[in-house]
Structure 1
């Protein structure tokens, strides 16, 4: 049976994904998948929906960018298929939300494209309805007239939508019928309605079985036993002085703020007509943490943190009960509308593309994606984002609300600035306005755009004749403004191809240090000056080089004795 259920779920998932493909708009895709599917289950083929073949996909690449929370999906780089990489529990991700959607951003490079992917997590019926108590005991006077209602505790189901509690059943009983009030948002509150007058002398106690069923196929259910104890006399319930109670309350109202005062009266006398107030049985724990109800005066005051972003509207069931031996109770709903206050600063999320930006990046190159959000409502949640510095970068808004791209404004030069700190400011339109800042460090990577420069141009050296062969006669230096291999310099003597300058064959240069060695001894009487050229090249790709002329002058030494050319005769 379980295997047939999994097969049915997979079949529905495939049909849902197929329908989702037809509804995808350009730049934005929507897929659906059921919770609890196995790891590796295919969600959709992003490459196919973008019209990319495997060759194009491999050249451009596709990846998911995200902030601090990693989504439960992965994109296969070979075929662009989006698949589940871990178990998904819809109730854990989205609580009881009717629509559970995980928003993703996928990026294609060269050229840059941003596509928004929405994956809706569909509910499966993996929870049964559950009552807060297994047994509920009611005390009802025999004098209560037919038509009286008695609110019961509602069942809760962790699933949502049609898979939450959909209906209730009551065991057959001639005195009671069941009435269910639909409050929306998966909330249905059951009440017992008295159909036939009770007679304590005939039956002192009635035992009923209340069953809650969800909308699964087959449905899951939960039961609660209701014991109705019949009492005598007190025959007038409390009556509220208003048909409805509604009030407006600012969020962040301080503890002790009076919200509203309710009032009910009872026509009975003594303890049967003395009214006390309490929260209804179906009031959730959150409301009890926020408000206190004075049981005697009916005054509701603030005792917790009122936050519009958590609840914009609260409905609280109030019960007015008398103190008769068999208590009579009347229910009334108080609606509290929360007014938004600008109490949330904008949040900035930055997704950088690379650790370092090449200095030859063209104007308009995207450096990072900026997304901003504000949890407030209306103008309090309207955010503008900007850069408040004169930097070679622009913040351009995206078609998607509250999305920006940080791009280069003009050409960059690492040799002038190797690092920029860009301060992003996000400011809301509230009064007073709230803002936040985030700094982005942008490092420029070197490009081989500078040639080596000699320390002199031209070089002029003087050496004495009769130098020792193999010894360094002079040195040359050069520098390069680039870094790394782009600044690593090698020296080379430029020799004439046709041998026009034969002297260069008697010179050698150390390619690393620039030291020049003479391989022979020079003779001033034979050679007084000569000239040659030296090149300096960096190790970049492609390499850049420059060259310089070297002028060498030979200095004379007294290394020749006098010579008598003609004999002299004396007479």
Structure 2
């Protein structure tokens, strides 16, 4: 019992976790219940209660030091009548005294550890740690001792530190690779009455290379057909190794036997098997049995365990080759032969040979695979294998012939061997030289003598060893006063003018024969004709036109024909003027709407004529496109007696020249053509020449194809005929001039 009057400061009450019943008392209290005790602070009213009459302090529930070890409280003594404090307020601390009520716990458990197999005794595995929530400064409640409950005699644990160590030597992973230990921690220094806790520790033994490879059998037997190709697998062997991972990785090699070089061995990294494969072709007739001594060893060796024994093992592999019926085999895989393209049919080129590799040595017959000799240039003797020429050879067509020869076993025709023959054709000089291209040669009318108008070269299909060399000349009997030829001594020649000036009216085309001789043995020559056209050129020497017809009047055209043409034009002009006058009287417009039909020619007959055939006398498309080749259309009601070829297209030239050529061509055709319209018909052509901005005078292009016909179409021909009259007048003047 503490009195407030005697202790004017902090008081400390030490209480156990299981029992609490202290009492406070004031010296003023005389026992007649005039004083009331009041408690304040941590836990007052919830954990701690005070009897206001006696001052006894009671705990309402069990105290736990691990939750709170100290409580700070305040107490007062109050006069019941005045309700005033009779003593100064006093503060005191209640300290909870610890008892052993918590067992040790392994907060990090359960544990997993690993150590190499064959570890020596005392090898540290790991350290375990247990914690006790009791007060380590009071008694032995928190003092822990470790012990091993399960795992003996293989492992032990240090009591104070909790370090686990191996207890037996040479623990073999291959015998047992995992151990489960149970470790106990007990407080009170392990004395009777102490609390304890346990945890588990899983210890795994890791592998070390302590086991050598071992073959399960000391000898193996395998049978292999001789027809297996190189690279085929003939055997798979494996040495057993109790280790795992990289400690079980193997290496195999052939260390002895008569099969070295014929067979090879590799490792399958996935299965660690040794794969025996064929390294050279097998032949039963040559050797039918092989013996191999194969060694297996660990790839990674641990020197600590070399005392166990050699980390390798050997086995014997016997391989027996089985006989199979094989196809014939040629003495060479590829035969190369050479023959001249001048060789005659039936000439021998060379011989191929094949034999049956089997012990029966059957006879062989030969043939040519026609899929490689489609043209059947060659034949082969079925018995001897002699290859001969069946057709004339031409190096320029095919310089090398690659053929396949078949060798067929007589006793078993299904067995067929293949041989390959490359026949190279030697060149002879059997092709004459010729122009390298088709030359288009022009000469200007004003060309001076000595002017080079063309350089020519030659080609030859032959291939001489020293290359081509050509010689150019004019034939001796074809001397020309117009042109000469100069051999440039470099496989080219120059054509040179020999006279001063040319006239198209006299001769528009010259044909110059040129002799080309090659340098072969014997040499060959050819005569090639060079076509030279005389052209009208501008000041820069550029050809404008090379057509001579525009300067020559046709023999059938007379002055009367021209007068007749002009008279017809004037007649039509008068007719049009009459129609225009009638239109004006009716006050109708001279210009049609776009939907009205417009005719491009007027055809008048004094007899019934040929009807619609006369309207086909010409094609307006041809008039608009003079550069297009003109096709003559024949009358279907008249059988023509003379066939005419279409004329070539006119080259670009000034409009006056083109127009004059056009008129003369039409006049010539009309004079001699039996398919022309009746002679009393008149054909008019509205032509403005090339390059006209207005293009054709025809108004057909402005009329839609689906418009209704209107035959009042001559009202707009007045201005056109005036232009036609002007043009024809110009033509007449030009012609007579």
TM range (shorter): 0.3 to 0.5
Larger radius of gyration: 2
Give TM-score, length-normalised by structure 1.
Answer: 0.44
> With structure 2 as the length reference, what TM-score do the two structures score?
0.35
